[in-house]
């Protein structure tokens, strides 16, 4: 079994000629054409070709990092708020029992 990786323009806009998988001297199990439209290679997973450019994945990663950073800041602010409210609750409690002025006698 073999696959053909068609020619493509890499990220530097240089034409890379097509090749067959597995490549000569490469892993014999790498029979599938994998990668992106601008970066292709041979691998052993038939579902590893993505029909968009590699830079698209970079922007997905940046978006995920921004989202996770915002979530971390919100979580940190929530934890700080809870700690401050707990401290205020504990520090404003009366230290002694209230005197009801009732003498309980037998």
pTM above 0.75, yes or no: no
The secondary structure element, H or E, covering residue 40 is strand 40-43
pLDDT by residue (tens digit) across 16-63?
A: 898 988 888 878 888 898 888 888 889 888 877 776 666 666 666 777
Report the candidate in 53, 32, 52, 54 with the shortest Cα–Cα distance to residue 43. Answer: 32
Maximum Cα interatomic distance, the chain, rounded to a whole number of Å: 104
């Amino acid at each position: 079994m073999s696959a053909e990786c068609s020619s493509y323009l890499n990220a530097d806009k240089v034409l890379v000629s097509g090749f067959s998988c597995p490549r000569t001297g490469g892993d014999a199990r790498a029979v599938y054409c994998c990668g992106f439209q601008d970066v292709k290679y041979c691998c052993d997973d038939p579902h590893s070709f993505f029909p968009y450019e590699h830079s698209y994945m970079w922007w997905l990663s940046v978006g995920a990092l921004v989202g996770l950073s915002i979530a971390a800041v919100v979580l940190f602010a929530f934890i700080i708020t809870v700690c401050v409210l707990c401290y205020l609750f504990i520090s404003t409690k009366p230290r002694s029992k209230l005197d009801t002025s009732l003498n309980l006698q037998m």
